[in-house]
A and B are shown apart, each in its own frame.
Chain A
Amino acid sequence: MQPDDIARQLAPKLGDGLLSVEPFPGTAGRVRFRSERALELFRAVRDDLHFGHLSMVGAIDWVDHREVFYVAWSDAATQYLFLSTDVPASAAHVESASSVWPSANWHEREAWEMVDVTFDNHPDLRHLLMPDGYAFHPLLRSFKLHEPEELEVKSRHV
């Protein structure tokens, strides 16, 4: 599956929600899309392109904006597909993929607590790796290492 094929199949469904499909190392291509049309894209990728397996969700803090990326896998094509969308840092939120791929659940929880991207309609958006009530988002560029951090952690279950 080439980037052009993907673009051809996705364009009718997504319209202007699809920004571009470009080559990407190790995968069939990178699909860049508008975050408002996320759910439609996920459905199209799963049902039309048959990428039934969501491997990973993550986010990158580019300081001025944040990028949320998804990696999906298709058993038929034995290929990965890289999806990414940019969200503004001031209103970093995107629709949760967990209604389409249940496996997104934990990955989105991690991305939320690490990079501060909110996933709308997520079934269970709690802290995963950090303790409850942790006020920081460690993978933001503004979170500097080498600075001692003092914090009182309360036990989650008494």
Chain B
Amino acid sequence: MSEMWINMGPQHPMTHGLWNLRVKIDGEMILDVDPEMGYLHRGIEKISEDRHYNEVITLMDRCCYVAGFAWEHLYIQSAEQALGLRPPERAEYLRVLCDEFQRIASHLMWYAAFVQDIGLMSPFLYGMRDRDLVLDLFQSYTGARMTYEYMRVGGVRNDVPPGFTDQARKVLDWLSDRFVEYDQLCLGSTIFRERCDDLGTLKANDCVAHGVTGPMLRAAGLKRDLRKDRPYAAYDRLEFDVAVADSADVTARYLVRMEEMRQSVRILRQVVDWLDRHPGPVLAERLPRWLGAPYAPIGNEGYLLKRHYAKGVGFSAVEEPHGEAQAYVVNDGGEHPYRVKFRSPVFANISAARQYLVGYHVADIPPIMGSVDVCVGEVDR
């Protein structure tokens, strides 16, 4: 067979979304790749220029459909900087609660899709089953399972319901037991190791050069995690370790994500305990005077935020489940953000595709791209 280009996508089981990986192959070998994005481009940055500050939150949930909370948090932080607001402490803990549960949910989704990619059928259902427990928790305090619209400029929308923390503890106990099973199913399998070891290797210096962040970078041995390096929300008051591995291959990324889920459970136990002990407000009740808003009834913040602001910019970054996400919000004093710019970690991770795909087999594409954990919603925005 001579060389040929094949389109893996836009509708292809490997893509887990809507994008196209053009692959040049010779027989079963990959000679070149050219990712083609944009099939899911909704122009979120453009739409944001036409929305009030709180209305953008709705878009953020749709930005990454498996990690909505992380993106809400990201935008909220930048918007608060741009507007000069500060959330109450309990809101910060609640945001961490959202973020970490979201990380677990996202990683479970990744696990389900990834094992499916290498042909392991049953764990797909296990991952989805356990993710559902986390989504049930989300539903109990946001009313939604995917598009939460929960965080607000100046705090969060509402507190968790009574009994939530006990339920959360039960879920955490269940999850920590399941992680052992996952490892037995995958790492205990010779075929799994045969398929994943020394596959899709991307060394640390290549990761840095190509802007790769998140579990892929940590799997290359670089201990970089914004939650530690530049703590935001309540992360500086919580104990956890940064998961790293050093073989830089698919197995290493698997190990890193598994360890991250364990660390998330550890963080969540502390957060849940803290929430039990420290009741308090979750939304900045009194927005600053220059907003012209003496009393801000909850649920009506959007109206108040239509008023005048001082000019300002906000730049913030969060450690999203896929890597490092950044948001830049420019406030020119008008009703709407003048410009919003998001940096998606998966965007950078996919842009390096040539570095970690060329030279492997066609059959290696699904495990490698699976280990990248593609979420097209945030790549295309």
Contact = CB atoms under 8 A, between A and B. Distances in A.
A–B contact, 8 Å CB criterion (strictly below): yes
A128 interface: yes
A80 to B, nearest CB: 7
A82 B224 contact: no
Contacts, number: 100
A128 B50 CA distance: 23
A57 B159 CA distance: 37
Interface residues of A, number: 38
B37 interface: yes
B347 A106 contact: yes
> Of residues A53, A69, A75, A157, which shows the largest number of chain B Cβ atoms within 10 Å of its Cβ?
A53
Interface of B: 5, 7, 22, 36-38, 41, 43, 45-47, 50, 78, 81, 208-213, 222, 224, 229-230, 312-317, 324, 326, 328, 330, 338-339, 341, 343, 347-348, 351-352, 380-381
Given A56-B343, A103-B351, A129-B380, A145 B47 contact: yes
Contacts of A15: none
Contact of B317 (A26, A107, A143, A156): A26
Interface in A126-158: 127-131, 138-139, 143, 145-146, 156-157
A32 to B, nearest CB: 13
22 contacts: A24-B313, A25-B313, A25-B315, A53-B208, A54-B211, A55-B317, A55-B326, A58-B328, A60-B330, A61-B339, A69-B328, A79-B230, A80-B230, A80-B315, A101-B211, A103-B209, A103-B211, A106-B351, A128-B37, A129-B37, A130-B38, A139-B339
A71 B38 contact: no
Interface string A84-118: 00000000000000000111011100000010000
Interface of A: 24-27, 52-56, 58, 60-61, 69, 71, 75, 78-80, 82, 101-103, 105-107, 114, 127-131, 138-139, 143, 145-146, 156-157
Nearest to B228: A78
B78 to A, nearest CB: 8
Contact of A75 (B37, B38, B222): B222
Contacts of B43: 138
A131 B37 CA distance: 9
Contacts of B324: 55
B46 A143 contact: yes
Contacts of B47: 145
B341 A157 contact: no
Contact of A55 (B36, B45, B343): B343
Contacts of B38: 127-131
Contacts of A58: 328, 341
Nearest to A73: B324
B145 to A, nearest CB: 28
B351 A56 contact: no
Nearest to A56: B343
B348 A103 contact: yes
The 7 A-B residue pairs whose C-beta atoms are closest, nearest first, are A103-B211, A129-B38, A56-B343, A106-B351, A26-B315, A78-B229, A58-B341
